Structure 1
């Protein structure tokens, strides 16, 4: 048996890299897998036009065994992260592999060798390609399809990592928000939220899509203030933030992108996106054209599930009860707009205020992702 690791160095091999998941997953064996939009993956890997790569480098590898492509991995040098944390961490991501420990080990070793050449001392991931994008290996919750912009993988991926001497360094969790809970909030939650609404001078307003760039400026300011102390965070440049936000614009609903203001000044924002994976799971080839776009345009209005992907509050407002107000506001909106279910993710396992908030309401923790690391020797 022959096993070769190939460096992706041309357009043809990059196409093979993007198409690799379709060689591993099939609908019968992995019905939960949602084919990504290939154009989105291509954009994430576009070192010329994606502003992330103004402060980062990436190298891609494919694994071929017995003349068949069986795995892939990306090695990532994130200069912005290392400058912010003053460390020398390397990253890996876009990992896909058949259930073969030998293939996985060789892929990890190839990524590690490239990172070592760059002077990095450890290897952390998976990141696709950073904590500001899809992050983590799914360790619980494989029985359901992933929500928008979250990762899914078979459970054997866990063993592929532990067999390659990776250890978990941080877990990320997701809470499920059933419609029944939104319709019947515990009395103490409603009482507290109503009390805070009367005494906090905090109001909420929808994202103004007609003044999209102005709203992004407000959210950008909140974002870098709100996340600066979070594990793994590194500040995005304004160009990176605008680039990511504009990619979401086509699917955003202003009723689910709302800003909190205290006496007219921005205090925080919440962004929930409709779970377009409900549509993408029926788009097996991952292409946007010709039928993928039609499915998105026609199906978007029927989506009744959302993922809360961002909830950020400026530091000076964090002890004002604003998190409870955001939660109450989102539940009120879910009733008004007939949302059937939601997910709040990702939340760091040790982010006590955020975890406590969802637990107190009664939302079950139903998915967990793990970030792994191993030293570069």
Structure 2
């Protein structure tokens, strides 16, 4: 008869050897035990491992695009979000190998603005293993409860806030992710639902390409724009030479146009400046539009060049030593855009402004001989915007899902 004892530990492999006498014989049994271990990310080395894990997980996936290391580092450490809220990153090890990661996120402004008791999880990546996924979700819940015991609901995946990348991809796996969108393997859906998470809302991304472009729908929008002009509404490009002045008006529209959207929280001045600084570096004036009436911004639309076309060629998201040159010299070769921001303030909706903004971006993309455009995401129940996109033949080609569960 043998006796086997399993031990647990941090990173190590334990050899449990026991002597047992039976029938005057010495039986020596050895068992190697690999224990899954959660580690709080505290050091720079651990943070780098946290950011790099998806590169190893998806190293053989032709669709995967690595995030820029410096951008992820700043998001997790120096973003103005950290002035009013908090997060903790965790790594899951099996023996000495990383097999998963998650960030537990307490967004105080979200709860204050929406009157909720939500805790979030994000930056979720894991091998195809139900136990590992459960450990990661349980770890996020435990941290949130310890941080604020009034939290009653877990929501995610959200990579910091809904102003950043959010949602679990559940449709459109054959397409690479565009700028500021998430990507994951198909098995994630089953793993998260196995932990008790249920659908909260779906986020739709829409696509156009050269063959699906519909001139008739844009001609209709031209007539609609003429009608808007008679009512004093002008659609124009944002004046990038007066960026500071115009971005102040831009922020007012942004913070009011989305005020009733799921999970939206108005940006602080610091957060807006943080985002605007980054976007200005890659923004194309042809694709930053405003709707204006009597000098007041009442709507906006921003499409960004799909820099993921370049990032895909930057190993592990490192700009140094050669990645920076790929990024700088590759910008002119980009042939796709993502309309990632479009909104109209209350009192000016249902006038057709949304459709005209979309149509003008599509016209400019066509004039530039681009290969594709994506709009997204939009909430599944945002019917005015979704109908405007359908009117110009947008194809709902991707769906991301936000999950929730009571905790």
SS in 2 for 1:161: helix
Q: Which runs of 5+ in 1 are unaligned?
A: none
CA distance in 1, matches of 2:352, 2:217: 17
Q: Is the 8 A contact 1:268 1:314 kept in 2?
A: yes
Residue range with higher mean Cα deviation, 194-203 or 147-156: 194-203
2:159 paired residue among 125, 128, 149: 128
Match of 2:99 in 1: 70
Shift of 1:25: 1.1
Q: Contact conserved, 1:183 with 1:335, CA < 8 A, in 2?
A: no
Segments of structure 2 that go 5 or more residues without pairing to the other structure are 1-33
Paired positions, count: 372
Deviation at 1:215, TM superposition (A): 1.8
Counterpart residue number, 1:110: 139
C-alpha change, 1:187 and 1:62, in structure 2 (3 Å) is: closer
Shift of residue 206, structure 1, vs aligned partner? 2.0
Q: Is the deviation greater in 334-343 or in 80-89?
A: 334-343
Partner of 1:232: 263
1:270 paired with 2:293, answer no
**How far off is 1:196 after superposition?**
2.5
Q: Which portions of structure 1, spanning 4 or more consecutive aligned residues, are displaced by more than 4 angstroms?
A: none
Question: In the alignment, is residue 13 of structure 1 matched against residue 46 of structure 2?
Answer: yes
Q: Partners of 2:218 and 2:245 in 1: how far apart?
A: 38
Pairing partner for 1:151 from 182, 185, 194: 182
| 1:168 to 2:199 alignment | yes
Mapped partners of 2:298, 2:128: distance in 1: 47
Whole-angstrom distance in 2 between the partners of 1:233 and 1:189? 32
Q: CA deviation at 1:187?
A: 7.4
| Secondary structure at the counterpart of residue 261 of structure 2 | coil
Please state how far the C-alpha of 1:213 moved relative to its aligned partner: 1.6
Matches of 1:164 and 1:204, distance apart in 2: 47
Match of 1:212 in 2: 243
Shift of 1:161: 0.3
SS at match of 1:134: coil
Residue 193 of structure 1 corresponds to which residue in structure 2?
Answer: 224
**Bigger-Rg structure (1/2):** 2
In structure 2, distance between residues paired with 1:367 and 1:132: 19
Give the corresponding residue for 2:55. Answer: 22
Instruction: Confirm or deny: 8 A CA contact 1:193 1:328 kept in the other structure.
Output: no
CA contact (8 A) 2:221 2:355 kept: no
- CA–CA distance in structure 2, aligned partners of residues 35 and 170 of structure 1: 26
Q: Distance in 2 between matches of 1:152 and 1:213?
A: 33
Task: Output the CA distance in 1 between the equivalents of 2:96 and 2:123.
Answer: 21
Once the two structures are superposed, residues 14-71 of structure 1 have per-residue CA deviations (whole angstroms, 9 ceiling, x without a partner) of 1211111122111x3x11000110111101101xx32111111101110000321111
What is the match of residue 400 of structure 2?
369
Shift of the 318–97 alpha-carbon distance from structure 1 to 2, 3 Å rule, reads: same
Instruction: Give me the whole-angstrom Cα distance separating, in 1, the residues matched to 2:219 and 2:275.
Output: 38
Q: Residues 301 and 358 of structure 2 are in contact (CA less than 8 Å); yes or no, is this contact kept in structure 1?
A: no
The separation in 2 between residues aligned to 1:302 and 1:34, in whole angstroms, is 17
Cα distance in 1, alignment partners of residues 295 and 244 from structure 2 = 19
